[in-house]
């Protein structure tokens, strides 16, 4: 028999947004591949094989690639008893199987979760986070990350980002001249080949916006679910404030290394105040997250 759902509060808003995002991304993917097939009729088998292969690789290996890129190393209970103990308590509260536990040796105070399902899930905390947070604050952060696993939005974000990655690659190839060598004149095939970079750029932009909108909502959903599960929204608020405040003290080089993985992190890392990443951030503002937690705390106190 299938295992019962976890005790994390369900979020119909998140579920609806995930379904809508996947539908729109899927529709965009079909249109995108269709345009490529129409433009490169003689190469359609190669296009289908490459697109299918990239999709399978993205789905099966992207979480491992992300974990490797962020320096995650699995640890045993003997190596990290405090971290394992906190995750054990959250699993007991949520009635969830225990994920793999990892530590990233980075002074950037953060945490993240990856995995296609509960069986393949990995929850990682950085050494900077473990050193700075109190036990209750750490549990709040880990409960936040575990909610991503319970709601399966990590897998959805992984799949949803695939088309943007593919479109971005094709756009770069086109800029390097890959599609520029086409026949002159008014030949329809040549015109269509010239349109591919433009179509790829539009697809990338739409995919980027869809994943950003979903990402911001899922972070609010994870904060809410973690606060309700632990019953201590103030601890999560304290962790958010402390981690966000400490980011300014982290060396710029370390922040730049962390920026590409912001969509996975508990709190985004920006290397400068003028960074464009702030404008298109994968996370809601700190003020919005704290306001939500304050409302939850007031509701729980009643």
Tens-place pLDDT, residues 68-118: 888 899 999 999 999 999 999 999 999 999 999 999 999 999 999 988 778
Check whether 139 has a pLDDT greater than 90. yes
Distant-in-sequence, close-in-space partners of 174: CB < 8 Å, separation ≥ 6: 180, 196, 197, 200
Neighbours of 192 (CB within 10 A): 18
Angstrom distance (rounded) from CA 144 to CA 146: 6
**Does 145 qualify as catalytic in the annotation?**
yes
The Cα–Cα gap between 169 and 263 comes to 19
Instruction: Give 216's contacts (C-beta < 8 A, 6+ positions apart).
Output: 281, 282, 283, 284
Q: Which of 92, 134, 152 is nearest to 234 (CA)?
A: 134
What is residue 166's predicted lDDT score, i.e. its pLDDT? Answer: 58
Q: How many CB atoms lie within 10 A of CB 177?
A: 8
Contacts of 124 (CB under 8 A, 6+ apart): 67, 70, 72, 101, 102, 103, 104, 111, 112, 113, 114
At residue 44, the pLDDT reads 66
In the predicted model, is pLDDT for residue 206 greater than 50? yes
Q: Which of 145, 219, 259, 287 is the catalytic position?
A: 145
Instruction: State pTM to two decimals.
Output: 0.80
């Amino acid at each position: 028999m299938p295992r019962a759902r976890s005790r994390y509060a369900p979020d119909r808003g998140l579920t609806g947004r995930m379904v809508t995002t996947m539908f729109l991304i899927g529709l965009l993917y079909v249109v995108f591949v269709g345009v490529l097939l129409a433009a490169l009729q003689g190469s359609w088998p190669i296009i289908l094989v490459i697109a299918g292969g990239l999709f399978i690789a993205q789905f099966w290996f992207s979480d491992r690639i992300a974990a490797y890129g962020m320096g995650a190393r699995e640890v045993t209970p003997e190596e990290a008893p405090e971290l394992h103990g906190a995750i054990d308590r959250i699993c007991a509260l949520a009635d969830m199987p225990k994920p793999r536990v990892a530590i990233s040796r980075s002074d950037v105070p953060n945490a993240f979760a990856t995995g296609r399902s509960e069986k393949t899930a990995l929850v990682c905390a950085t050494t900077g986070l473990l050193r700075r947070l109190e036990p209750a604050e750490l549990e709040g952060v880990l409960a936040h990350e575990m909610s991503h696993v319970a709601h399966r939005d990590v897998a959805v974000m992984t799949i949803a980002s695939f088309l943007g990655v593919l479109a971005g690659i094709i756009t770069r190839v086109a800029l390097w001249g890959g599609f520029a060598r086409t026949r002159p004149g008014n030949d329809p095939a040549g015109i269509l080949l010239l349109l591919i970079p433009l179509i790829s750029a539009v697809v990338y932009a739409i995919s980027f916006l869809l994943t950003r909108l979903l990402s911001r909502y899922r972070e609010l959903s994870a904060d809410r679910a973690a606060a309700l599960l632990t019953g201590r929204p103030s601890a999560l608020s304290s962790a958010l404030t402390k981690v966000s405040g400490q980011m300014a003290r982290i060396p710029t080089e370390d922040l730049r290394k962390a920026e590409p993985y912001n969509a996975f992190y508990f709190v985004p890392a920006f290397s400068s105040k003028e960074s464009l990443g702030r404008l298109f951030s994968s996370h809601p503002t700190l003020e919005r997250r704290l306001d939500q937690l304050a409302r939850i705390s007031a509701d729980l106190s009643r």
